[in-house]
């Protein structure tokens, strides 16, 4: 695994020396570009032209195009985590109501930060891109570790069955969770692309359908996981 996906990538020192206004303009311009185009299609040249800066400036701030995308991804994830982290397991009677609440917060994040939501959606749906394959695998590995820890806690409490390896349960829950979007498209005829084309948040007007999809999945997950 490359160093780039083993640890958090940060901009070069020259980027940190930019004043706040220039840094924000740079970040927002590239956030828009990467949230509206695939990694392959995103154009550094067009963004620097709109910003009125030299293309070489980008490489004074970041190692390459991927480094820039990873920085933007990290910034988006930090904001999303602010929404999710205040959802505490202790505030819910069972794991599944907690699991559902996390999704509800994800919708709130998407509505309030549409560009950030779009960028994360683009990355999640770009695992086919050679340059992003390793990024996606690292993302998946981290998700499995997090889910494994959550599941182990429920097993220890006696809430989840203990006759199936936690790793197997984590993979199963990851598969179900990551396919919710496809489920919404297939079963509930949700057209995410229509929102994207209209420059709306990905989940605009979709919260009810999303939570219905989650509830339907939970009915099956309870039977698979609960003790």
Residue range 133-155, pLDDT digits in tens: 888 888 899 999 999 999 999 99
Q: CA 218, 224, 225, 227 torsion: positive or negative?
A: positive
pLDDT of amino acid 10: 65
Give CA–CA dist 114/35, Å, rounded: 9
In terms of residue numbers, what domain contains 154? 3-225
Q: What percent of the chain shows pLDDT beyond 90? A: 72
Confidence at residue 6, expressed as pLDDT on a 0 to 100 scale:
43
CA 202 to CA 185: how far, in whole Å? 13
Dihedral sign for Cα 20, 81, 141, 119, please. Answer: negative
Q: What is the CATH number of the domain that holds 77?
A: 1.10.357.10
Structural domain tally of the chain? 1
pLDDT (tens digit per residue) in 154-169: 999 999 999 999 999 9
Q: From CA 115, how far away is CA 35, in angstroms rounded?
A: 6
pLDDT tens digits, 174-187? 999 989 888 888 88
Listed as ranges, residues in the chain with pLDDT below 50 are 1-3, 5-8
Q: Under 8 Å CB-to-CB from 227, ≥6 apart: which residues? A: 158, 159, 160, 161, 162
pTM of the model: 0.86
């Amino acid at each position: 695994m490359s160093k780039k996906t083993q640890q958090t990538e940060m901009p070069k020192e020259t980027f940190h020396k930019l004043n706040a206004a220039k840094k924000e303009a740079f970040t927002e311009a590239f956030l828009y570009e990467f949230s509206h185009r695939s990694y392959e299609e995103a154009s550094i040249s067009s963004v620097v032209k709109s910003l009125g800066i030299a293309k070489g400036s980008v490489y004074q701030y970041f190692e390459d195009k991927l480094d820039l995308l990873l920085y933007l991804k990290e910034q988006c994830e930090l904001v999303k985590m602010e929404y999710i982290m205040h959802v505490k397991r202790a505030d819910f009677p069972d794991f599944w109501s907690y699991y559902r609440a996390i999704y509800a917060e994800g919708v709130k994040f998407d509505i309030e930060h549409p560009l950030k939501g779009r960028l994360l959606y683009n990355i999640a749906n770009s695992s086919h891109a050679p340059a992003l394959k390793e990024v996606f695998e690292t993302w998946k590995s981290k998700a499995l570790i997090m889910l494994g820890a959550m599941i182990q806690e429920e097993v220890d409490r006696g809430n989840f069955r203990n006759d199936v390896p936690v790793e197997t349960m984590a993979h199963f829950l990851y598969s179900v969770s990551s396919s919710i979007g496809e489920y919404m498209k297939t079963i509930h005829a949700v057209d995410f692309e229509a929102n994207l084309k209209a420059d709306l948040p990905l989940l605009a007007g979709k919260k009810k359908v999303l939570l219905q999809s989650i509830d339907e999945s939970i009915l099956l997950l309870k039977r698979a996981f609960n003790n």
